[in-house]
Every structure is written in C-alpha cells, then in structure tokens.
Amino acid sequence: MLRVPPDQIDRAVRNLGEKLVEEFIVVALVCLAFLFHLRSSFVAIIALPIGVLVAFIVIYTSWTMYASWQAARRQPDIQVEAQAQLSEAPR
C-alpha cells in the first residue's frame, strides 16, 4: 500500500484550490471577451464548477460504495481465518 505523508496531501489540496480559482478567472475572462455579455458568461462560470463538483461527488460515492462492498465481501474470510486460528491454538 502506498503511504503518502499528510503534508503532501495538504499541499496537493491547497494547490488544487488555487488552480481552480485561477481557472475560473481565466474562463470568466475568456467568456466575457468572446460573448461580450456578462450574464451569458456567468452561465459558463457557474456551470463548470458545478459540473466538476458533481463529478467529484460521483467518484467519491462510487469509491466508498466499492470499498464498503469489498469490506463486506472479505468479512466472512476473516471470520473463517479467525476460527481456523482458534482451532489450531494449543490448549
């Protein structure tokens, strides 16, 4: 299993937040420059972050469902191993 230090995770999350803000600003400027209409550019500015957020929510929920399914699937194996170890233990 890969172990990542917590400070690396914190830096990665902070970096992601900074890059998302930068991207929102660039998207806003490009939309404003090409559409020449403030309300139309707000649609793109709002729709893109919501789409990214929904994608992350789907990924997170599917991962947690998969992890809980794997844990439930492994549970009988753990019980069988524990019973085997108890039966092999000297009395």
CA distance 12 to 18: 10
Single out the residue of 60, 56, 38 nearest to residue 48, CA to CA. 56
Q: Tell me the per-residue pLDDT of 71-87, one tens digit each, with 9 for 90 and over.
A: 777 665 555 566 666 66
Residue found under tokens 């020449």: 36
Residue 31 maps to a domain: yes
CB under 8 Å to 44, separation ≥6 — which residues? 27, 28, 31
CA distance 80 to 71: 15
**pLDDT at residue 65 is higher than 80:** no
Are 24 and 42 spatial neighbours (Cβ–Cβ below 8 Å)?
no
Residue 91 maps to a domain: no
Residue 1 maps to a domain: no
For the chain, percent of residues with pLDDT exceeding 70: 76
Amino acid at 31: C
- Quote the number of domains for the chain: 1
Q: Which domain holds residue 19?
A: 6-86
